[in-house]
Structure 1
Amino acid sequence: MSPPGRRYGYVGPPELRQAVVAGTEGQVIRRAADLDAWTAAAGQDGEETFTFVVGPDGLLRLAPRRSEHVACAGGGEVLGAGEVTLRRTGGGWRADQVSNQSTGYCPDPDSWPAVAAALDRAGIARPRGVHARAGVPPLRALSGEQRGPRGRLRLRVLRRGSSRGMEPRRVSFLGSSP
């Protein structure tokens, strides 16, 4: 049985999808040890930003930052996609920033529960604001900096459309501060 959530098909340039080579999708991260081994083999340490997708199986897949999301996904559908900045801490891995910026898949904010579940499953602490449940506040309420009971939440909302009917298209969670 596959995880619940909307599936996003690739909507980017066809030549990028055609260039995907079978078997070269992003590194599957099932647990923190997978991330440790992969980053060590690549000579990465500390903090790094990656391209990510959440596959239809609900698993997190990572690739180097400037990789195409469609290549990371092996050309298939995803439950979420974007960029994630991961940092190794004394207690394990932490996602400091997560975005849904993928022009190939254009996931909307409804993808956050799938992203949160994939991070949780992999044992990667997620930033406050990346929710594992539906019902995230309306985007217009999240635009800019908002002060909540636990500090400031910094978000960037990119909009598309006329000034009257502007629709949020991408939301970047930029982190929180006390």
Structure 2
Amino acid sequence: MSARGRSYRYVGPADLKAAVRPGSGGCRISSAADFGSWVAERSAAELAEPFTFVVGTDSTMRLAPRRSEHVACAGGERVLSAGEISFIHEVGGWAVGDVSNQSTGYCPDVSSWSAVARALDGIEIGRPSGFTYEVVFRRCPGCQEHNIVREDDFVCVFCGSHLPGAWNVDPAA
């Protein structure tokens, strides 16, 4: 782990990563001005839905339409976090409405929130104190399948094996 936190490599289907083309990543948002320009180009209908986001290893947020693959948004690179995010316009400016670590391609741990918080603070966007929806990912030691843990039930939905308490999705990490 670096001083910025753990980085996550893509662990989803290989064909999705193979489809990523150089320069095809999400829109880099590294300042309040970048965010202002980006949000001004969105329609009301677009802004009503969440967006796909990643925080790259350079701590910069990238945004893409919701149905975009996280690996494409990241340009195929490692990330410090990934998920979905929505924005709301409040008196005084924009803020995060909802944000999650829901990315089955990267399966980031809930501890990746700190990278998201740093990225949002850097672009001066109001934010919650943590993910508004946390997804707990684990890899089954028995069948090696990736699981989403629901209601603290650490049992593999594929084979019934016990899932570990600590994040373990990427065996190379």
Task: Determine the structure 2 residue equivalent to 1:42.
Answer: 42
Task: Determine the structure 2 residue equivalent to 1:33.
Answer: 33
TM-score by length of 2: 0.73
Deviation at 1:32, TM superposition (A): 2.6
Aligned residues: 145
Tell me how far apart the structure 2 counterparts of residues 108 and 100 of structure 1 sit (CA, whole Å).
Answer: 7
CA deviations 1:121-173 (Å, max 9, x no partner) are 1111111335xxxxxxxx8xxxxxxxxxxxxxxxx867552589455799xxx
Q: Flag structure 2 segments of 5+ consecutive residues without an equivalent.
A: 137-149, 168-173
Tell me how far apart the structure 1 counterparts of residues 64 and 166 of structure 2 sit (CA, whole Å).
Answer: 23
Asked whether the 8 Å contact 1:51–1:68 carries over to 2, the reply is: yes
TM-score by length of 1: 0.71
Change (3 A) 1:87 1:58: same
Matched, 1:13 2:7: no
RMSD over aligned Cα atoms: 2.7
Change (3 A) 1:169 1:14: farther
Tell me how far apart the structure 2 counterparts of residues 48 and 169 of structure 1 sit (CA, whole Å).
Answer: 32
Structure with the largest fraction of strand: 1
Task: Determine the structure 2 residue equivalent to 1:78.
Answer: 79
Residue 29 of structure 1 aligns with an amino acid whose one-letter code is: I
Q: Flag structure 1 segments of 5+ consecutive residues without an equivalent.
A: 131-138, 140-155, 171-178
Task: Determine the structure 2 residue equivalent to 1:106.
Answer: 107
Change (3 A) 1:159 1:61: farther
Deviation at 1:25, TM superposition (A): 0.4
Secondary structure at the aligned position of 2:79 is classed as coil
Change (3 A) 1:3 1:166: closer
Aligned-pair identity in percent equals 51
Secondary structure at the aligned position of 1:54 is classed as strand
Task: Determine the structure 2 residue equivalent to 1:161.
Answer: 155
